[in-house]
Structure 1
Amino acid sequence: MKKDNIDLLIKGAESLGVNLQLFHVEQFIKYYDLLLEWNQKMNLTAITEERDVVVKHFLDSLTAKICKKINGNERIIDVGAGAGFPSIPLKILYPSLKLTIVDSLKKRTVFLNELVQQLHLNDVEIIHGRAEDLGKDNSLREKFDISLSRAVAQLNILLEYCIPFVKVDGYLIAFKGSNVDEEIAMSNNALNTLKSQIENIFEVTLPYTDIIHKLLLIRKLGTTDMKYPRKPKLIEKMPL
């Protein structure tokens, strides 16, 4: 990674209240190299330019810090992580996080396992499977302090994917674009049915851009009824 992009990463993180040490930076450089290498074999991301990866993947992932719920000792699940965003950058920042990543595409989980091994990250579990099925698994259901999700589905569907994994009084942090008001308006029934509420909405401008993102901090208030999550086709055809 070029020096100016390394500086971009460090200063951009500082603007988000994140102080990156040398070992963090080295991990991000290795992450970028592996992402680029594997992206030639499979479609992991359409964003490949160094500067764009730094800003739109690495720094975007670190914006979760502004919710002030991730301190380094949480058990976190990332639903539909794709190439590892946002959870792997957060794991680099906080090596003591206990992280589970779920993705439905086998080849992406192969990449993620290699990434975790090459970055020497401990306490990371990569699971190939659908959130709708895994949400019924007693070893995963209501076991996590925080669920993360970035660009997976509209909110009323996303809630049914993610909330079953979260402990009562735990949180879903949903990464959304600036025009999320309509999604929120359509999600009242899903929030009530899944005993959750939007506790806060954080607006963040991505460093070095005029792109505005919103982070929805959603608190789980009660135990999820065992009927949720439903079958995939039902969730898509009849969202809550």
Structure 2
Amino acid sequence: MKKNDSPTVADVARLLKREGFTPSESELEALTGYLNLVMKWNKVMNLVGPYSWQDALTILIIDSLHLNKFLRSLSLPSTPVTWDFGAGAGLPGIPLRALWHEGEYYLVDVREKRTMFMEQTVKRLGISNTTVYKGRVEDFMEEHEPADLMLSRAFMPWKKLLDLVGPKIKDQGRIVVLALESVPSDLTEGWSVEKEISYKVGKDTRLFWSLVKA
């Protein structure tokens, strides 16, 4: 198999098994479909940079599989409203929604081409209860009721994030941060650490923080 060939479901299954994941057939089909669309669009716009599909899967998309496990370990509502800001190429949200279907999920980005990609991808893959919003997060939050869960993957520094998004998170709601360092000791007043885990991606250590609003 050539390095730049489009991956099949079997290719993706084999690589994910090596990483310790064994998704179902339907999950694998959705993940493979997403990966192929990312690589196709990446040729005409810089969605994920100069990655091969193998690297895109094991360096970028792999976070979503770890995040799926992490979210299932939390005491979330049965049908949470989840916000994913600065969603860009649909990471972590779209591959996450291939695995984790709970509640309503909103992918928010101000960039037109990226929201166009996400809209077409969500529709093409038949991902349910997942909405793409083009616009500023401030406008989005004004137009929507408070959320149960917000996911942050390099959207903005955590202090600014809590100040901006915190007022629009429900009491006992959560912000889950995908981070490269441990949760800070000087956490903003009104927030507490529910859970923190770390995992390896290649030689890198990555972390999730679940911060709960008191």
Q: TM-score range by the shorter chain?
A: 0.7 to 0.9
Deviation at 1:85, TM superposition (A): 1.0
Point out where structure 2 has 5 or more consecutive residues left out of the alignment: 1-6
Tell whether 2:192 aligns with 1:197. Answer: yes
Distance 1:13 1:168 in 2: 35
Q: Does structure 1 conserve the Cα–Cα contact (< 8 Å) formed by 2:106 and 2:132?
A: yes
Distance 2:103 2:19 in 1: 22
Q: Say which SS state the counterpart of residue 136 (structure 1) adopts.
A: helix
Task: Normalising by structure 1, report the TM-score.
Answer: 0.76
Q: Which residue of structure 1 aligns with residue 63 of structure 2? A: 60
Change (3 A) 1:21 1:49: same
Deviation at 1:200, TM superposition (A): 2.4
Q: In structure 2, which of residues 22, 25, 28 is the aligned counterpart of residue 25 of structure 1?
A: 28
CA RMSD of aligned residues (A): 2.2
Q: Which residue of structure 2 aligns with residue 228 of structure 1? A: none
Distance 1:73 1:135 in 2: 19
Deviation at 1:4, TM superposition (A): 4.5
Larger RCO of the pair (alpha carbons < 8 Å, separation 6+): 1
Tell whether 2:134 aligns with 1:128. Answer: yes
Q: Which residue of structure 2 aligns with residue 163 of structure 1? A: 166
Distance 2:60 2:46 in 1: 15
Distance 2:153 2:211 in 1: 14
1:81-114 Cα deviation digits (max 9, x unpaired): 1111111112100234421111111211111000
Distance 2:140 2:19 in 1: 36
Q: Does structure 2 conserve the Cα–Cα contact (< 8 Å) formed by 1:196 and 1:219?
A: yes
Distance 1:136 1:197 in 2: 25
Alignment identity in percent? 25
Distance 2:18 2:101 in 1: 21
Point out where structure 1 has 5 or more consecutive residues left out of the alignment: 222-240
Distance 2:32 2:56 in 1: 11
Q: Which residue of structure 2 aligns with residue 220 of structure 1? A: 213
- Aligned AA (2:208): L
1:115-158 Cα deviation digits (max 9, x unpaired): 00100111111111122332333x23x1x221111112211112
1:192-235 Cα deviation digits (max 9, x unpaired): 2xx222222211112xx1210111110011xxxxxxxxxxxxxx
